Amino acid sequence: MKFKRLSLGTILPTLLLISCGNKQEQVVQLPEVSTMTVKTQNAELESVFPVEIYGQEDIEIRPRIDGFIKEINVTEGSVVRKGQSLFRIDSPQADQSLRTAEAAVASAEANCATAKLNVDRIQPLADQGIVSKVQYDTYKNTYESALASLNQAKAQRENAKATMSWTYVQSPVDGVVGSIPYRLGSLVSSSNILTTVSNTGKVYVYFSMNETESLNFLNMLPGKNQAEKLKNTPDVTLKLKDGSTYEEKGRIESLTGQMNISTGSAQFRATFPNPAGKLRSGTSGRISIPRKMDSVLVIPQQATFQQQDKVLTFKVQGDSLIQTHIEVLSTPDGKSFVVTEGLHAGDKIVTKGLTSLKNKQKVKAVDDK
């Protein structure tokens, strides 16, 4: 009796030939694979987005008059109070306007006094009929005109004083001084930004979601409209650029009314308290939004593999493997996926050794213990 020699692969089924008289029986030994049955459970996800941080008020400080910087009363990063003097501008034009206005008031006061003397002198004579009423009325009108000129001169002086007060540039809010690009002697005008003052008692954190993400986020929140849904958002966490987590929790408060056409995204704004002034305007970080999901499918990440930017797993059907494309969301621990599409409760999937397997391969499923 002649036997055939067979070459057997490591992952292909092993064929054993058993001789029994004139008959040969073929016995297949299938490779064993570790599997699990997919079940529903509750999970908490974490969505992370890059953010830009700004003060509650970021105000550009500009001079209201032209002139040279005569004083700089603060330094970059100084904490200032509302009304505190930041700069002093030397404006010869404003100073000259005030001097001219004061001289005009003095002249108008002298003219008014002279006109009043004339009225007082003529009035007794007019009462006695010595001078005509027309002559008296002329002097009286001159006096009233002098009074009007005086009031006008005083108004111009007040305007000149107000303009002169602009030489003192004051902080409009409590806050922190930003960079100061100009130095003593620099010629500046209203087109120049002397510095910025940021009110950082609270900070605004801006981030964007694409259209699908924003719709999914709003749909999971309770509420009849957008305003109600935003009130029901969970507390959010801010992760700083150095990797540390900011100790205060924030709240998502607003969403732009329309999508950005160029980016296809919607901008959200979260507010964080900043009592210690740790957060500075213009910095960046990442915001973490928790998301609780009930009765979802959770599988280990090691039960999946990627192929051309798609996440795949092997589903066991009978004694065969079916390569299955799935849609997933990452969990905060980085070890599991929440499956949103591609699997159902009760499906059996392979959990280990996926790299050595292939689609439609015959296997023997062994449940993980």
Question: What is the DSSP code (8-state) at residue 250?
Answer: B
- Superfamily name with CATH number, domain 47-56+198-293: Efflux pump adaptor protein, beta barrel domain (2.40.30.170)
69-88 burial code (b ≥16 CB/10 A, e <16): beebebeeebebeeeeebbb
Strands (E), 264-319: 265-273, 284-300, 305-307, 310-317
CB 339 within 8 Å of CB 327: yes
CATH number for region 63-91+167-192: 2.40.50.100
Decide: pTM greater than 0.75: no
Over its length of 369 residues, how does the chain's per-residue pLDDT go in tens digits?
444 444 434 444 444 444 444 445 556 688 889 999 999 999 888 888 999 999 888 899 999 999 999 999 999 988 899 999 999 999 999 999 999 999 999 999 999 999 999 898 888 888 888 888 888 889 899 999 999 999 999 999 999 999 999 999 999 998 899 999 999 999 999 999 999 998 888 999 999 998 888 888 888 888 888 888 889 899 999 999 998 999 999 999 998 877 677 777 889 999 999 988 888 888 999 999 988 888 899 999 999 999 888 999 999 999 899 999 999 988 887 889 999 899 999 999 999 988 889 999 998 888 886
Q: What is the CATH number of domain 92-165?
A: 1.10.287.470
**Do 47-56+198-293 and 63-91+167-192 agree at the fold level?**
no
- Collapsed DSSP state (helix, strand, coil) of residue 89: strand
The class that CATH gives domain 32-43+295-367 is mainly beta
- Domain ranges, ordered by start, for the chain: 32-43+295-367, 47-56+198-293, 63-91+167-192, 92-165
Q: Is residue 336 within 8 Å of 300, Cβ to Cβ?
A: yes
